[in-house]
């Protein structure tokens, strides 16, 4: 490592670092005081910049909240218009005598093991089967089998793929035909 020279040359005169510092007016404790003041100034500037950034973020937050509220109002208005349009369509259909008959599914009691209530396999809907713990695929298989071949007994579930015997044993206790 190269050693720093103890003197420099200014013109023809040798000058030591201490002499240079003395000439600049920053020697010993004064230099420390000046450094602390510079750091305090830097800290104050950083605080001001941070406050400005926080104020800018708050303004942006307020703008986003206003935009969100406006969007929610638009969505509420659109929903109200859609509901009003649907009501008007129903009124028009009733007035013209073309009321659409909607199929109603028979109401099925959801199984309550403790109460002994059971779900009828012949009339159970998709959601009823799902409430028993069947997966989407298993529920579709049961409904497809019911439409194609029907069920003679609850034990017919044994023929469907994708059911474990222990699971079927639990489900069969909650089904009837």
Query: Could you report the per-residue pLDDT of 34-63, keeping only the tens digit for each?
Result: 778 888 988 899 899 999 888 888 888 888
Look over the chain and give the mean of its residue pLDDT values, rounded to a whole number. Answer: 77
Does residue 75 have a pLDDT over 70?
yes
Tell me the pLDDT band of 78, cut-offs 50, 70 and 90: confident
Q: Tell me the pTM.
A: 0.36
Contact predicate 136/130, CB 8 Å: yes
pLDDT by residue (tens digit) across 141-165?
A: 999 989 988 888 888 888 888 888 8
Tokens of 124: 């159970």
The per-residue pLDDT for 42 is 86
As to burial, measured by CB atoms within 10 angstroms (0-12 exposed, 13-18 middle, 19+ buried), residue 143 is: middle
The reply to whether CATH 3.40.50.300 applies to domain 119-176 is no
Contacts of 125 (CB under 8 A, 6+ apart): 105, 108
Residue with tokens 């069969």: 172
**What Cα–Cα distance (Å) separates residue 73 from each residue in 54, 66, 76, 176?**
28, 11, 5, 50
pLDDT by residue (tens digit) across 22-34?
A: 666 655 677 777 7
Does residue 98 have a pLDDT over 60?
no
| Dihedral over Cα of 95, 97, 99, 101: its sign | positive
Does residue 127 have a pLDDT over 80?
yes
Mean predicted confidence (pLDDT) in 89-112: 56
Range from 1-15, 75-89, 102-116 that averages highest in pLDDT: 75-89
Which of residues 104 and 49 earns the better pLDDT score?
49
The per-residue pLDDT for 37 is 86
- For 114, phi then psi, to 5°, come to -65, -40
Tell me the pLDDT band of 68, cut-offs 50, 70 and 90: confident
> ∠ at Cα 113 (161, 126), nearest 5°?
45
Q: 124 in the Ramachandran plot: left (φ > 0), alpha (ψ -120 to 50) or beta?
A: beta
């Amino acid at each position: 490592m190269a050693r720093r020279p103890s003197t420099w040359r200014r013109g023809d005169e040798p000058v030591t670092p201490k002499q240079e510092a003395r000439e600049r007016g920053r020697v010993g404790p004064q230099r420390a005081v000046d450094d602390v003041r510079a750091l305090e100034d830097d800290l104050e500037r950083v605080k001001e910049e941070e406050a400005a950034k926080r104020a800018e973020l708050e303004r942006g937050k307020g703008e986003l909240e206003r935009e969100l509220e406006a969007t929610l109002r638009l969505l509420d208005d659109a929903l109200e218009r859609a509901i009003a349009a649907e009501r008007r369509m129903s009124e028009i259909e009733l007035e013209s005598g073309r009321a659409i008959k909607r199929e109603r599914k028979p109401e099925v009691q959801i199984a309550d093991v403790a109460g002994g209530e059971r779900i009828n396999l012949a009339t159970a809907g998709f959601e009823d089967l799902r409430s028993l713990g069947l997966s989407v695929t298993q529920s579709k298989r049961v409904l497809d089998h019911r439409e194609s071949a029907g069920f003679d007994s609850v034990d017919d579930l044994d023929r469907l793929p994708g059911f474990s015997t222990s699971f079927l044993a639990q489900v069969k206790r909650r089904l009837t035909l």
